[in-house]
Amino acid sequence: MQKIFWKTMMFSALTISLFSCNKSVEEGSNLAPGQGELNCNITLGTSSLSFKASGMYSQALKMSAFGTTNIAISGSIPSGTFAAMSIQFTDITKTGTYTDGSSIVIMGTIDGNSASDKSFFSDDKVTLTISKITDTEVEGTFSCDITNLDGTVSGKITGGSFRGRFQ
């Protein structure tokens, strides 16, 4: 029950954060404060997408409260078929590889114009590798198994990479 609550809260945060404004930055340059970069290959049932979001279509957030640190990197692809996703993790503050699906959540949609069977979240089979983490930046890779919202379609995220610069 607690995991469903957190997934609902994080999906709400993803929706809000993806429609927030960020400063623009040219592709290939350093990220502006508050921006991120999120790349991966998503397969959900018979649908697939090569997801790449950066610059003004991305966001990096770091929030600390009540002894807990939460980091979220989110992004969207606004043209064509709308797609959005977010990787969020709690209390991971050192480099290393993590596989605890209860503190790592990946969610999004590969077709925001379609039915809910195109929206997904990660299950407990998540691998997150943090290669760099400081007070102002984070960088790493990820992969996971995913399921659509009603649990009827499964898939995978592979080749995932992210980086973010916090405000």
Q: What is the DSSP string of 84-139?
A: EEEEEEES--SSEEEEETTTEEEEEES-TTS-GGGEEEEEEEEEEEEEEE-SSEEE
Q: Which pLDDT does position 122 carry in this prediction?
A: 92
- For residue 137, what are the CA distances in angstroms to 34, 62, 93, 140? 10, 9, 11, 11
Report the percentage of the chain scoring pLDDT > 70.
Answer: 78
> Of 7-16, 51-60, 65-74, 122-131, which range is least confident?
7-16
pTM (global) more than 0.95: no
Band (pLDDT 50/70/90 cuts) for residue 114 is: low
pLDDT at 97 over 50: yes
pLDDT at 39 over 60: yes
Mean pLDDT of the chain: 81
pLDDT at 18 over 80: no
Band (pLDDT 50/70/90 cuts) for residue 110 is: confident
